[in-house]
Structure 1
Amino acid sequence: MKTIIDIARAAGVAKSTVSRYLNGGSVSEETREKIERIIKQHNYVPNTFAQSLKAKKTSIIGTIVPRLDSFAVSQTLMGIDDELRDRQHQLLISSANQDLNREIEAIYDLARQKISGLLLLAAEITEQHLKAIRDCRVPVVVIGQQHSLLHSVIHDDFHAGYMMGKHILDKGHRRIAYLGVTERDIAVGVMRKEGFRKALAEYNGCEVRYYESGFRMNAAVEAANHLLEDWTPTIVVCGTDNIALGVMRAAFLKQIPIPSGLSVTGFGGYEITEIIHPALTTVKYHYKRAGKLAAENIISLVNRENVDMVTVLDCQIIDRESVDILYRRSI
């Protein structure tokens, strides 16, 4: 069996019914089971790109990522790919390499390849993004950032920052440095920091200073060197796990022991944070789950189904050895 028509004849249904099933549309449970049984029996594999030449809507979902060498991005992509495969859709990836212009170009490039929907992992949403999305006229779900005009899947960054603030206060830390990222990134650069500020504002007697780093580890090492020359906090709360690893590297080079000489925390829950020594205290984010939900949402939008504008995922503190206990106090 080589075509949708062959499958439809064997199943005793219309060609449009098979097409709707292959594109993730709604069919009855009985029909779905019948079509699946015939597809498996004859090892039928839909030629998605061939279908796109004939159809106005394809089963190809474009995904734009800021970079490929990121744990968060790779885990999110795994979740997206798993869900799309389960729903008979294909994933087409474009990397912007942290270049805003390339990100905008990628939106237009993917639209020209007749994608049916777009998933966007962006550090910020600008007017250029909004114009490109309007021009391309395909459903869009943003992952990791929230915008009032776009559907999004986000992590609860504000609550994550708040939990971390409460956690380090409970460990007795009062001389605190926060090493974050640019506020152009609303989720990481603003929401995590504002949640952290709220926790500290509920307790009088803290001295806290705020610093900024890039996302990459070498930028974090440089920022940490400046921070540790400028001040001597008991703890550095880092906006990402990658930044935390940079701080730990800088402390090692300065022969500052962790956690007795300096405590360090991160956000993300990267796998490496569990196997380094000392293991890193962090906030675990569910990146694969975010990718799966984003894939579910974009398919629903393609099929003109209702989707919540914002889907929020929870997170959790992972308490490990990188934070010294100065003294305990109920918060």
Structure 2
Amino acid sequence: MNKNISDIARMAGVAKSTVSRYLNGGSVSAKTKQKLERITREAGYVPNTFAQSLKAKRNNLIGTIVPRLDSFAAAQTMTGIDEELREAGGRMLVYNAGQDRTRELEAMTDLARQKVSGIILMPAQVTEEHLRTAEAAGIPVLLIGQSNPALHSLVYDDYRAGLLMGRHVLDMGHRRIAYLGVTEEDEAVGLRRKEGFRAAAQECEDCEIFYYESSFKIEDARLAAERILDECLPSLIVCATDNIALGVMKTAHMRGLSVPSELSITGFGGYEVTGIIHPALTTVRFPYYEAGRLAARSMLRLTAGEEVKRLTVIDVELLPQESVDNLNTASV
């Protein structure tokens, strides 16, 4: 009786996905590979050539999972991915996770079933479930914005972004500052960005920093700003994203506070709107479009079996604009 993949998996004591990866030239440990080579040889296993031909049709169709569709960062990244893939003869299949971890994991599994060549994922957090799902998919998975040693990752230099912003606002004379961040479960935006800012603050002996937390939503940021202004009366609020900064600006205007003379505000991201609003927002530019193109190029190399750096760090750029008052000249 001919053996099938389920039989081989049972005999080897491994998952069917592991057998499938082995048969299709995917990544398995040396020990498992030796075991499967022996078992398939002894069992006289003959691969289903039709199924293998279906596998071969994973040509340059790349799945992309985004946290939400109304995000400037996600939109710019997707545009970069799409344009790079199209120029290379590839295509992109987009899933919206709606900032829901369960939907993220379901999307990874669904994309693998649809025989995409690889998956580009923009998660807020990388969990053990993500790693298990990526392994079960048996195809390359590349992270944007977060990193994990088990997966190829493309990240922004969030620590340097926070450091640049912290040094800038201190150089502008601000000493009573509120930092409005997000949950530290988000390692890039919530933790690394704040660590960089905190490092800059530690270089200054006479500053007071008050740390607050919000979600990424403008309305939540607006409410957080109400609390900040009631509790600590800072001269400046540093916001973890440009969207959060827009929420804080709304609160300032609702309270009749002039920006920047009565309240200075900064963000991170470099969203297009930050140069249109008045006053223009001081921020740190993150090259989302360029990152999307780089991610697509890296993924195409991975699907072709080529070597790609495990971790790529993308530089950022401080954009000083009109929303930060220079207190050094205020008393002159």
Residue identity matched to 1:319: P
| C-alpha displacement of 1:56 | 4.9
After superposition, the Cα gap between the structure-2 partners of 1:54 and 1:312, relative to the gap in structure 1 and judged at 3 Å, is closer
Q: Which residue of 2 aligns with 1:305?
A: 306
Does the CA contact (< 8 Å) of 2:65 and 2:121 recur in 1? yes
SS of the residue corresponding to residue 271 of structure 2 reads coil
Q: Which residue of 2 aligns with 1:228?
A: 229
| C-alpha displacement of 1:220 | 0.7
SS of the residue corresponding to residue 193 of structure 1 reads helix
- The yes-or-no answer on 1:265 pairing with 2:273 is no
SS of the residue corresponding to residue 249 of structure 1 reads helix
| Mapping for residues 148-167 of structure 1, pairs under 5 Å | 148-167=149-168
| Mapping for residues 75-224 of structure 1, pairs under 5 Å | 75-224=76-225
| C-alpha displacement of 1:64 | 0.4
| C-alpha displacement of 1:227 | 1.2
**Alpha-carbon distance in structure 2 between the residues aligned to 1:301 and 1:53:** 19
TM-score (norm 1): 0.82
Q: Which residue of 2 aligns with 1:13?
A: none
SS of the residue corresponding to residue 290 of structure 2 reads helix
**Alpha-carbon distance in structure 2 between the residues aligned to 1:141 and 1:302:** 11
Residue identity matched to 1:229: D
**Alpha-carbon distance in structure 2 between the residues aligned to 1:57 and 1:106:** 17
Does the CA contact (< 8 Å) of 2:55 and 2:115 recur in 1? no
**Alpha-carbon distance in structure 1 between the residues aligned to 2:166 and 2:117:** 42
**Alpha-carbon distance in structure 1 between the residues aligned to 2:324 and 2:54:** 57
Q: Which residue of 2 aligns with 1:318?
A: 319
Residue identity matched to 1:195: G
**Alpha-carbon distance in structure 2 between the residues aligned to 1:306 and 1:53:** 25
Q: Show structure 2 runs of 5+ residues with no match.
A: 1-52
Residue identity matched to 1:228: L
**Alpha-carbon distance in structure 1 between the residues aligned to 2:319 and 2:117:** 38
Q: Which residue of 2 aligns with 1:64?
A: 65
Deviation by residue 1:7-45 (Cα, 9 ceiling, x = unmatched): xxxxxxxxxxxxxxxxxxxxxxxxxxxxxxxxxxxxxxx
Paired-residue identity, %: 54
**Alpha-carbon distance in structure 2 between the residues aligned to 1:300 and 1:214:** 36
After superposition, the Cα gap between the structure-2 partners of 1:173 and 1:304, relative to the gap in structure 1 and judged at 3 Å, is same
**Alpha-carbon distance in structure 2 between the residues aligned to 1:324 and 1:57:** 54
**Alpha-carbon distance in structure 1 between the residues aligned to 2:221 and 2:70:** 16
Residue identity matched to 2:265: V
**Alpha-carbon distance in structure 2 between the residues aligned to 1:155 and 1:243:** 19
SS of the residue corresponding to residue 94 of structure 2 reads strand
| C-alpha displacement of 1:256 | 1.1
| C-alpha displacement of 1:54 | 7.0
Residue identity matched to 2:83: D
Q: Show structure 1 runs of 5+ residues with no match.
A: 1-51
Deviation by residue 1:103-154 (Cα, 9 ceiling, x = unmatched): 1100001011001101001111011111110111110110011111111111
Q: Which residue of 1 aligns with 2:38?
A: none
**Alpha-carbon distance in structure 1 between the residues aligned to 2:56 and 2:211:** 53
SS of the residue corresponding to residue 212 of structure 2 reads strand
| C-alpha displacement of 1:58 | 2.5
Q: Which residue of 1 aligns with 2:25?
A: none
SS of the residue corresponding to residue 221 of structure 2 reads helix
What CA RMSD, in Å, does the superposition of the two structures yield over aligned residues? Answer: 1.3
Give the ranges of 4+ consecutive aligned residues of structure 1 lying more than 6 Å apart after TM superposition: none
Deviation by residue 1:153-184 (Cα, 9 ceiling, x = unmatched): 11110001000000001000000100000101
SS of the residue corresponding to residue 223 of structure 1 reads helix
Q: How many equivalent pairs are there?
A: 278
Deviation by residue 1:158-212 (Cα, 9 ceiling, x = unmatched): 0010000000010000001000001010000001100000011111011001000
**Alpha-carbon distance in structure 1 between the residues aligned to 2:266 and 2:98:** 27
| C-alpha displacement of 1:219 | 1.0
| C-alpha displacement of 1:53 | 4.7
Residue identity matched to 1:71: F
SS of the residue corresponding to residue 91 of structure 1 reads strand
Q: Which residue of 2 aligns with 1:49?
A: none
After superposition, the Cα gap between the structure-2 partners of 1:312 and 1:223, relative to the gap in structure 1 and judged at 3 Å, is same
**Alpha-carbon distance in structure 2 between the residues aligned to 1:123 and 1:265:** 22
| Mapping for residues 253-292 of structure 1, pairs under 5 Å | 253-292=254-293
Residue identity matched to 1:223: A
